[in-house]
Amino acid sequence: MADLKRVSPQQAKKLIDEEGYLYLDVRSEPEYAAGHPSGAHNVPLMHAGAGGMKQNPDFLEVVRALYPRDAKIIVGCKSGQRSMRAAEAMVSAGYTAVIEQRAGFEGPRDAFGAITEPGWGPAGLPVETATPGGSYAELRKSAGR
Write out the catalytic residue numbers.
77
- Candidates 95, 96, 100; CA nearest to 119 is 100
C-alpha dihedral sign at 126, 37, 68, 19: positive
Q: What contacts 127, CB < 8 A, 6 or more positions away?
A: 35, 36, 37, 38, 120, 121
CB contact at 8 A, 90 and 73: yes
